[in-house]
């Protein structure tokens, strides 16, 4: 871990712990202890286990998408790169820092750079499709079935904006996919920006490298639409399984804390999870820390007793943030050790 990553980790942990402490201070009262007596630990353990299953879904998505292109990547390698990805994503703004890690690890497993890049980009396209559809459906459900529920305007504005952005990004991808000249032009501009202070030889070499990646990327995308069509099927299938499983976890945490399990709780929790995920896409803090805790506390205070909101946020963030940091750090150290052995 370099100095920059250490700094981001310290900042991320500091913000998260400070906001968690504030949420606990403002929500814990005399009723909290009474509420915790009805806690069911089995549901809380199940919640953590479900998150682990989500990581397995993600690893399977990558493995099967790569297999559709003719690459045999070991499942453990896919799982390790997913876990390492969660560590980097937890300390970078908008949780987007993990993509280069996934591309790098796929190339280390024998994939060509353009193919690895295409797989990672297609992953994000699938995420965008599922989240865009989910956001639109949730906003519709809120307007039709829960008109009396008072949500902060900023939350709804974020949801509407995100639905438009997700849909726009997916549309933009398809536009670039159908117009290779635009892709080459974009890579040319990026190459020029990165080569401003380099010699002409380095600039030309970088451009040729980027041009090769772009050509390979378009070849791979064409394969996903042809002989590698199973990659799209498995990609969408495991993306839907991943996000559905992740979004249901909060409902089980609520149930584990003694909240009565009802259909309204399940649906509203699902809606809140999608809206919170959308809000966390905004690149404000590393890993969305602070924003996540406040969003969770603000939303779930509407549907669960205030006395356990702080405890709920603490458990939720342990599963989705601190657990990711732990397993991600271990996975990253395995990669570092492998690289060290390779050099020697």
pLDDT at site 75:
95
Helix (H, G, I), strand (E, B) or coil at 286: strand
**Is the confidence at residue 194, as pLDDT, over 70?**
no
What number is the average pLDDT over the span 196-217? 66
Q: pLDDT value at position 244?
A: 93
Q: 230: pLDDT confidence band, cut at 50, 70 and 90?
A: confident
Q: What is the domain partition of the chain in residue ranges?
A: 3-343
Only one residue has tokens 């990711």, namely 324
Cα gap 322→21, rounded to integer Å = 15
Residue 1 has pLDDT above 60, yes or no: no
Separation between Cα atoms, residue 136 and residue 160, nearest integer Å: 8
User: Which neighbouring-strand residues pair with 286?
Assistant: 93
**pLDDT band for position 158 (cuts 50, 70, 90):** low
- Please enumerate in sequence order all residues whose Cβ is within 8 A of that of 218, keeping only pairs 6 or more positions apart, or say none: 177, 180, 183
The C-alpha R_g of the chain, in whole angstroms, comes to 22
Backbone dihedral region for residue 110 (phi beyond 0: left; psi -120 to 50: alpha; all else: beta)? left
Q: Is the pLDDT of residue 335 over 80?
A: yes
Alpha helix (H) residue ranges in the chain: 3-27, 30-36, 41-68, 75-89, 99-108, 113-145, 153-178, 180-194, 200-224, 229-256, 263-280, 291-300, 309-317, 323-343
CB atoms within 10 A of CB 240: 16
pTM of the model: 0.82
Rounded to 5°, the CA angle 208-209-212 comes to 85
Three-state SS at 74:
coil
Cβ contacts of 203 within 8 Å, gap of 6 or more: 191, 192, 195
Contact 13, 95 (CB under 8 A): no
pLDDT for 292 equals 81
Which range has the worst mean pLDDT, 10-19, 45-54, 322-331? 10-19
């Amino acid at each position: 871990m370099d100095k920059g990553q250490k700094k981001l980790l310290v900042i991320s942990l500091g913000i998260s712990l400070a906001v968690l402490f504030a949420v606990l201070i403002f929500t814990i009262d005399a009723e909290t202890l009474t509420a915790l007596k009805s806690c069911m630990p089995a549901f809380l353990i199940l919640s953590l286990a479900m998150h682990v299953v989500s990581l397995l879904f993600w690893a399977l998505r990558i493995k099967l998408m790569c297999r559709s292109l003719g690459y045999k990547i070991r499942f453990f390698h896919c799982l390790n790169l997913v876990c390492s990805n969660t560590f980097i994503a937890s300390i970078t703004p908008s949780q987007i820092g993990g993509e280069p890690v996934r591309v790098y690890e796929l190339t280390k497993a024998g994939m060509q750079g353009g193919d690895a890049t295409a797989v990672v980009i297609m992953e994000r396209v699938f995420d965008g499709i599922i989240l865009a559809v989910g956001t639109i459906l949730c906003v519709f459900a809120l307007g039709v079935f829960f008109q009396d529920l008072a949500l902060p305007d900023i939350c709804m504005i974020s949801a509407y904006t995100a639905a438009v952005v997700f849909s726009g990004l997916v549309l933009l991808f398809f536009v670039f996919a159908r117009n290779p000249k635009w892709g080459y032009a974009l890579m040319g501009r990026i190459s020029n920006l990165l080569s401003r202070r380099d010699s002409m030889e380095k600039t030309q070499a970088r451009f040729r490298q980027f041009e090769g990646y772009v050509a390979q990327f378009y070849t791979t995308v064409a394969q996903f639409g042809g002989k590698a069509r199973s990659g799209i099927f498995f990609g969408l299938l495991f993306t839907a399984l991943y996000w559905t499983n992740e979004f249901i976890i909060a409902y089980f945490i609520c149930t584990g804390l003694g909240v009565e399990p009802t259909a309204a709780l399940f649906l509203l929790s699902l809606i809140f999870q999608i809206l919170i995920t959308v809000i966390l896409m905004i690149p404000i803090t590393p890993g969305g820390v602070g924003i996540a805790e406040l969003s969770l506390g603000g939303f779930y205070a509407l549907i669960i007793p205030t006395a356990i909101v702080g405890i709920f946020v603490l458990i939720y963030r342990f599963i989705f943030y601190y657990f990711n940091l732990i397993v991600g750090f271990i996975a990253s150290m395995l990669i570092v050790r492998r690289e060290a052995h390779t050099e020697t």
